[in-house]
Structure 1
Amino acid sequence: MTQDQLTDATPPPPHTSARRLALCLSGTKRGARLARHLTVQQFTEWTGLPYDSDPARAVALVAAELASNAVRHGSLPGRDVRLALRLLPDGHLHIEVTDTRPEHLPAPATSEPGDGTSGRGLLLVQAYADRWGHTVHDAYTKTVWAEVRTGLTPVRERDIHLL
């Protein structure tokens, strides 16, 4: 399958920076790991930045936390999670993970984790993302999202018309 088939979208004109990807992954640890790998792969393809750049590492960390939280706290057996990525004109990568447990909202990030082995993920998201939050769409799904600065120069409308 091509990216266009996965996203139900036609590719943007070559002079714009609007890039999108959306796909469903299994609600398992393997699906969460795949979400991280696919996010970094797509990010480096869209931006041309290397895998070991600071923005790519930040994107990997945020995608891993959002996906693992969706699998751990928001996934019902046999249900997928949805990963959506958008490269925004303002120089951010928008990462969304949608799961099937809208009643399990992310707790506010605090420095006091519940136990010694978990509870710090949203602190990391808060530290590496410029903005993050959640949206409950209906009685069946919720989306947790974050926007990570890519380090690229924002594209302005005026610049698009000059190309």
Structure 2
Amino acid sequence: MARRVRDSVNLLEENGLVVQEKLSDDQADALIEHVNNLGHSDDNIPEWEIRVNIMPDHFLQIWRQCETLSRKATVEFIGDPGFGIIRILIPKCDDISDSSLMTEVVSLREFVGGRNGTLMIERCPSSVKEHIDVWGGTNPELSVMERIKNQFDPNGTLNPCRFMGHI
């Protein structure tokens, strides 16, 4: 993260802008973490946290889908179009049920998957985890991962179903 901040400062200076204050590496890391968490702290953790990875040329399409979702529920999202990453945070709210929200997230996952992206649910209510694959593992790579897991753990004793695709 600190490297990205330094690169940004260098780019600004190379283009004639005067940088009034430079942050230390620790300050830069703290700032970026605060921005990435959209101001949430340990005592204010969102109920849902979702990470979308997409090719940068599809970023705007996915961003617009996030905007559509934000009209149905309280949703905060931040993205990095250069890296093709969108983080979606959804606080606990009463304006939409978990099942309705789960339906919306599955729909978004299908939209993302149709553009060769992935959507992983990093945090959600336990009741939702019983009905949805948080990893979103429907990729053809899963068969390769499953064969590797079977070679190292033929009896399936090491963390069963704890990896994407319930491997």
Same fold (TM over 0.5): no
- Which of the pair has the greater relative contact order for Cα pairs under 8 Å at 6+ separation? 1
Higher Rg: 2
Per the normalisation by structure 1, the TM-score is 0.29
Q: Comparing both structures, which one devotes a greater share of its residues to strand?
A: 1
